[in-house]
Structure 1
């Protein structure tokens, strides 16, 4: 196969790559020039050079990739001690259940059992999560709506 047509760039120019041209492009590749630099010399896009290099791997030897782009920082960061991570307490604050939530617990439903018009406020801490399920016109019953607004006001600093 002596001639290989390749489309280049957005202009749609078709370039005929002869074996001699491919060999000529492989020489600067071996001299450690980038695909962009070679492409500028031949008037094609770097993708064309990359494609030619891929299809003609015998002529285009693989370049060693740089392991570290910052040679002055060749030392690896010390690894975190995994035992210290296991012993660490979670940052979550456990909030004791509200009296209303404890009263609603016998009537609570799992997420898949909830119907439209039932309160979606979670009333336990999981396994499985249970929701209030009191009748409501919106997402939350009147009690949980007032608690949500009160938490929002405290968070914003309103009085």
Structure 2
């Protein structure tokens, strides 16, 4: 399997602008720039996209594991908080925190947390990130 995305940038860092597109066309010339990364301008940014990818990957992988266990998934909702820090002139994504709220009847909290933590380590996006990945789980009854 191979997926593609592309980015086009014109201009200087602060005054320039870019557009991101994906093979699926879900993103098609989506705007990004200095203001969308370091301020509150309209558009997206790489950290937000990594967060979306990580939340989606983790949630799908957890659904796969729970399905293998023959459990009914009423809802899995994951928010990924991506931390970007500056050290000197360089920036690094240092952490991703996954906040999971789930409604899965038939599983106890301890087993659910154990499985979610295993999946956190094994989902493909987690494996590609060189950052500390933490997880909070809330299982509704």
- The TM-score bracket by the shorter chain reads under 0.3
Q: TM-score, normalised by structure 1?
A: 0.22
Q: Whose Rg is larger? A: 1
From the two aligned structures, give the one with the greater helix fraction: 1
* Length-normalised TM-score, structure 2: 0.24
Q: Which has the higher strand share?
A: 2
